[in-house]
Structure 1
Amino acid sequence: MRYNDLREFIKVLKEEEQLIEIEDEVMPEPDLSAIGKSAADIDNGPAVWIKRVKGYNNSVLLNVHGSWQNHAIMLGLPKNTTVKEQFFELDKRWSNYPVKPVWTEEAPIKEVEITENINLFDILPLFRVNKYDGGFYLSKALTVTRDPDDLDNFEKQNVGIYRIQVKGKDSLAIQPLQFHDIAIHLKKAEERNEKLPIAICIGNEPVLNLMASTPIEYAQSEYEFAGALKGQPIELTKSSNGLDIPARSEIVLEGYIIPRVRKLEGPFGEFPGSYSGARLQPEIKITKVTHRKNPIFENLYIGMPWTEVDYLVGLNTSLPLYRQLKRDFPEVAAVNAMYTHGIGVIISTKCRFGGYGKSVAMRLLSTPHGMPYSKIIIVVDETVDPFNLPQVMWALTTRVRPDKDVVMIPNAPGMPLDPSSEPAGMHTKLIIDATTPVPPDVSRNVNALDTPEKVDYWYDYMKNFIRGNK
């Protein structure tokens, strides 16, 4: 890999012509959110480094993951690597898990330490991500907690990304949904009426944020997965409250979640492209801040898809679902769960017998992520590329008989941030079986066209020719 932290990745993006640097002073609002939205809409989705923000001392970095080009560069691949190729490259590296991290005492994150008179507004160039947010949010902070019942178990240490609202100079609010690992930690701490230590890490090397937003198993380590994807150990250090944090983060906020206290949080413009309501959420007390000299504040714009969040959680949502399905249904060829964090999923599979596609979809709905998130599942043949929407639409329009191929499952778990969830957290699931019928299903007159011979050869030939010219 050509980078070991966010600063080095910025240099790589610049070399690859995937970085815009803005030297002019900009207003926090509405400029920063407008820049974040605009960057993701540009064809190549460059990252944007805003050097001067009026009223603040530190710079802002947006849209680091905001294109498939940036996503490929993060993985050390050519920036024009296709989405499907990136999916299977991730799958290959997934098998390298675990790659154990290394620890260091001489960590750049400890260059500056603040323990008294903490004022987050002096350090963080805060802005509302969307106009009617209830306040300032940290939307891309890597958050670390430990299992209170098993404090020495490194694998049960959770590294996730959650929405965090700044409530005061040294206080925050966080949203731990019931199916998130941090909610398990918090529940155990509150049963004892104990504080839950927490570290909030801002400005990380991009593969760490990728894994922090990935739905892996409870006793799997995000750090060890990040090492597997990079092909080298992640460098960690210890926070003063006993947590393992990236040694090269830009800013780390240390503190604890106050037990059994809830305060108003929200609303917030969420990833489904709508505002969530205000809710009572746990409160965090910040007791220490460490940061690098001249720290870079990285944040994420969330809005109507596609924005950076959709690139960040697209393939890393698809891959765990693919692997979980393939364990039980080896015929599954690929899974595309890139749409709204897996609320919509497209599965391609070879069907062993009649009704097989529906069975695959039902298995998806019993996975840890698919159960609460996935609402609309489309199943297509293994010959249909689930990342190619024209092919998927072809399957929908030529393979689906609505009277027999569409299934609804009422009163199922749902994603409470989905505005169509009613009540919040409940859904009717929709399965559309767009596979070709196989016995004993009633056969129909389906004579699919054969693919011309040597398609793969000529496709690769022309693709490499184009890349060579560039």
Structure 2
Amino acid sequence: VDGDAINLFDILPLFRLNDGDGGFYLDKACVVSRDPLDPDNFGKQNVGIYRMEVKGKRKLGLQPVPMHDIALHLHKAEERGEDLPIAITLGNDPIITLMGATPLKYDQSEYEMAGALRESPYPIATAPLTGFDVPWGSEVILEGVIESRKREIEGPFGEFTGHYSGGRNMTVVRIDKVSYRSKPIFESLYLGMPWTEIDYLMGPATCVPLYQQLKAEFPEVQAVNAMYTHGLLAIISTKKRYGGFARAVGLRAMTTPHGLGYVKMVIMVDEDVDPFNLPQVMWALSSKVNPAGDLVQLPNMSVLELDPGSSPAGITDKLIIDATTPVAPDNRGHYSQPVVDLPETKAWAEKLTAMLANRK
């Protein structure tokens, strides 16, 4: 379907996702865009998950978060006074959906990463209008442009933070071509108050690249838990080379590509604390932290505008909580080695458990 013959309200089985939403939304679509200054660079081609409000028969409102690759593509296009061509795919292979939600580096290809997960090249097709690489097997493809320097009110929408965003000026997408299978499957993402589908999708997809990026610069990093609200809170375990080292890791987490917009609070723990084991994390917080010196507050830092605590929207103070054991030259406190059970404790615990289980 082309041009003025397009009517998204007829083609798609749209419905309101949250009670207070301002309209119908596409929230599990992959949006494909290219770097206008380097369009043939496969790695700089971006596949991302961005929610879009259906505002007219062939018009969408799209939110390009400034820290995301599509926002950089749009910025480059608008500097040249050009629209940004995009392809939007619905009903995608779960692997490419997972990669679209993963905060990769700017020149890392989502298709190559999806291929690595499949252990075979990821299949792609050519979109008929834009010629972009799109996921093979998608149910629906919408092609068009983000119109240069055009903004309209979009929202409100029930966001992944569990709060509604208000109506804000967002970009306008004009759809010029729609291709779809016969009887296409329409897919939406359930999000809102945690835990929902988006937490299970984005949580692991956030932990892994953040861990890889930190590990490349700080081999001492042991694990990263960024499961909570797309990494607005991260818990990181690390060995320490010297005093203050854990805080340096926390600062770097906040300045990774994902951290610039999301990592608002970091809890640093020792290497013997599992950041995915909340009782262990609570023990570290309660026994290791001295508020006089272990809270590092960073004023006027960037965060995505959807963070409801930011003021003004997009600006926040960030916080590092250092729950690690001090090492030289930081000699604060009087910490012993952690308490260790006697060698026979585990065996006796197993015997007592068995005795209680068999008690009549």
* Common fold by TM > 0.5: yes
What CA deviation, in whole Å up to 9, does each residue of 1:373-404 have, x standing for no partner?
11110000111111111111111111111111
2:87 aligned residue: 199
1:188 aligned residue: 76
Of the candidates 132, 154, 166, which is equivalent to residue 265 of structure 1?
154
Are 1:255 and 1:286, in contact at CA under 8 Å, matched by a contact in 2? Answer: yes
Q: CA deviation at 1:216?
A: 0.7
Are 2:3 and 2:175, in contact at CA under 8 Å, matched by a contact in 1? Answer: no
Structure 1 stretches lacking a partner, 5+ long: 1-112, 457-470
1:449 aligned residue: 339
Output the amino acid matched with 1:187: H
Output the amino acid matched with 2:66: Q
Output the amino acid matched with 2:74: L
> What CA distance in whole angstroms lies between the structure 1 residues aligned with 2:154 and 2:66?
16
1:212 aligned residue: 100
What CA deviation, in whole Å up to 9, does each residue of 1:428-449 have, x standing for no partner?
1111111112222225133302
> What CA distance in whole angstroms lies between the structure 2 residues aligned with 1:416 and 1:454?
54
**Residue 241 (structure 2) pairs with residue 352 (structure 1):** yes
Output the amino acid matched with 2:108: Q
1:301 aligned residue: 190
1:402 aligned residue: 291
What CA deviation, in whole Å up to 9, does each residue of 1:95-150 have, x standing for no partner?
xxxxxxxxxxxxxxxxxx66661111222111111111110011110000111111
**Residue 137 (structure 2) pairs with residue 248 (structure 1):** yes
> What CA distance in whole angstroms lies between the structure 1 residues aligned with 2:131 and 2:342?
60
Of the candidates 139, 161, 175, which is equivalent to residue 49 of structure 2?
161
In the alignment of these two chains, the number of paired residues is: 344
Pairwise mapping of residues 32-431 of structure 1 onto structure 2 (< 5 A)? 117-240=5-128, 241-431=130-320
What CA deviation, in whole Å up to 9, does each residue of 1:140-173 have, x standing for no partner?
1000011111111111111001110000111111
1:48 aligned residue: none
Change (3 A) 1:224 1:340: same
> What CA distance in whole angstroms lies between the structure 2 residues aligned with 1:314 and 1:279?
27
> What CA distance in whole angstroms lies between the structure 2 residues aligned with 1:428 and 1:202?
37
> What CA distance in whole angstroms lies between the structure 2 residues aligned with 1:409 and 1:445?
27
- The DSSP-based 3-state class of the residue aligned with 1:156 is coil
Output the amino acid matched with 1:272: T
> What CA distance in whole angstroms lies between the structure 2 residues aligned with 1:415 and 1:403?
29
Q: CA deviation at 1:454?
A: 11
> What CA distance in whole angstroms lies between the structure 1 residues aligned with 2:142 and 2:278?
42
> What CA distance in whole angstroms lies between the structure 2 residues aligned with 1:198 and 1:407?
41
1:51 aligned residue: none
> What CA distance in whole angstroms lies between the structure 2 residues aligned with 1:308 and 1:229?
20
Q: CA deviation at 1:339?
A: 0.8
Change (3 A) 1:454 1:360: farther
> What CA distance in whole angstroms lies between the structure 1 residues aligned with 2:345 and 2:192?
39
Are 2:67 and 2:260, in contact at CA under 8 Å, matched by a contact in 1? Answer: no
2:325 aligned residue: 436
Structure 2 stretches lacking a partner, 5+ long: 347-360
> What CA distance in whole angstroms lies between the structure 2 residues aligned with 1:166 and 1:128?
11
Are 1:198 and 1:255, in contact at CA under 8 Å, matched by a contact in 2? Answer: yes
> What CA distance in whole angstroms lies between the structure 1 residues aligned with 2:71 and 2:252?
24
% same residue:
58
Are 1:437 and 1:444, in contact at CA under 8 Å, matched by a contact in 2? Answer: no
> What CA distance in whole angstroms lies between the structure 2 residues aligned with 1:405 and 1:236?
49
Q: TM-score when scaled to structure 2?
A: 0.92
Are 2:67 and 2:304, in contact at CA under 8 Å, matched by a contact in 1? Answer: no
> What CA distance in whole angstroms lies between the structure 1 residues aligned with 2:31 and 2:312?
29
Q: CA deviation at 1:450?
A: 3.1
Q: CA deviation at 1:258?
A: 1.4
Output the amino acid matched with 1:438: V
> What CA distance in whole angstroms lies between the structure 2 residues aligned with 1:152 and 1:187?
18
Change (3 A) 1:269 1:453: farther
- The DSSP-based 3-state class of the residue aligned with 2:334 is coil
Are 1:348 and 1:381, in contact at CA under 8 Å, matched by a contact in 2? Answer: yes
- The DSSP-based 3-state class of the residue aligned with 1:321 is helix
Are 1:436 and 1:446, in contact at CA under 8 Å, matched by a contact in 2? Answer: no
From the two aligned structures, give the one with the greater helix fraction.
1
Q: CA deviation at 1:455?
A: 12
> What CA distance in whole angstroms lies between the structure 1 residues aligned with 2:250 and 2:108?
25
